[in-house]
Amino acid sequence: MSASRDQRHRHAPAARDAARPTPARPGRGGPAAAVLVGLPAVLFALITWQVVDKGPLLGADRRLSHLLVEPDRASELLSDLGNVQVAVPVLVLVLGYAAWRGRGAGVVRWWAAPLAAAVLMAVLPAFVVPVKEWAGRHGTSAVPPGTGYYPSGHTATAAVAYGGAVLVLLPWLRSALARRVAVGVCAALVLAVSYGLVRRGYHWPLDVAASWCLCAVLLTALWLVLRRLSRSTSRTCSGTASRRTGPS
C-alpha cells in the first residue's frame, strides 16, 4: 500500500504538468513583433492614403475587382463565414474550452488569456468603424449605393475571431502537427471569407487587404499579451511549493 501511494505521489506532479498549457518559448520576440506590427501598419497607412485621396492604386483595384466579381451562391456562403453570428460563437466556444482546461489544470489566472481575446473582439469595431466613416468609400456595382465599405468589417471579424481563437488554443495543443493544423484551418477560413467577399462583390480587394493589415497588428498585440501571460504563469508555477511533494 505504501509503495503504491508513493508512486501516485511521484506521478501526480507529472500529471499536473502534462495538463498545463505549453509555455511560450523564449526567443527573439522583440524584432519579430516589430516586423509583424510595423510592416502591416505601414501598408495599412499607404492603402488608406490611396483610398482617401483616390490615388492611382484605386484604378488597379477596380480592374482586379472587375476580373474577379461573379456573384454566386458559393461566394455568398464563403463571405458569410465572416458574419458576427458565425465567427464570434466559434471564438466563444474556444475561449470557454481554454478557460475550462486552464481552471482544471490549476493555471494561475486561467481566465486572463480568454479574457484578452474576448476584449480584442469586443473593441474591434472601435478600430474599424471610425476608418469606415472617415474614408467613406463607395462599394462595387454588385452592392447597393452607399459608403463605408473600407476597410472590410467581415474580413476583420473573421481574422480576429478565428485568429484569436487559435492563439488562445495553441498552448493546449501538444503536438506540432495539431498546432500546424489549427493555424492552417484559421488561415483557410480567413482566406475563404476574403475570397467570398471579393467574388460576390461585397468589397473591393483593397478593402480586404487593408483589414488583413489592420488585423495583423491587432493579433500581434494579442500574441504579445498571451506570451507575457504564459511566461508569468510558468514562473509562478515553477516557484510554487506543493504541500506533499515540495517544489513542483
Please write the tens of the pLDDT for every residue from 18-28. Answer: 566 666 554 55
Contact indicator for 169, 141 with CB cutoff of 8 Å: no
- pLDDT tens digits for 188-244? 999 999 999 999 999 999 999 999 999 999 999 999 999 998 877 655 555 444 433
The three-state secondary structure class of 21 is coil
- Count the helix, strand and coil residues of the chain and give each as a percent rounded to the nearest 5: 75, 0, 25
Give percent above pLDDT 70 in the chain.
81
pLDDT (average), residues 79-90: 97
Per the document, the length of the chain is: 248
pLDDT, tens digit, 9 for 90 and up, residues 22-62: 665 545 566 777 888 899 999 999 999 999 999 999 999 99
pLDDT in the model for residue 247: 37
Task: Give the model's pLDDT for residue 235.
Answer: 55
Tell me which of 233 and 14 has the higher pLDDT: 233
pLDDT in tens, 148-194: 999 999 999 999 999 999 999 999 999 999 999 999 999 999 999 99
> Is residue 9 scored above 60 in pLDDT?
no
Q: Which residues contact 118 (CB under 8 A, 6 or more apart)?
A: 91, 92, 95
Query: What is the Cα–Cα distance from 168 to 120, expressed in whole angstroms?
Result: 12
pLDDT higher than threshold 90 for residue 65: yes
pTM of structure: 0.85
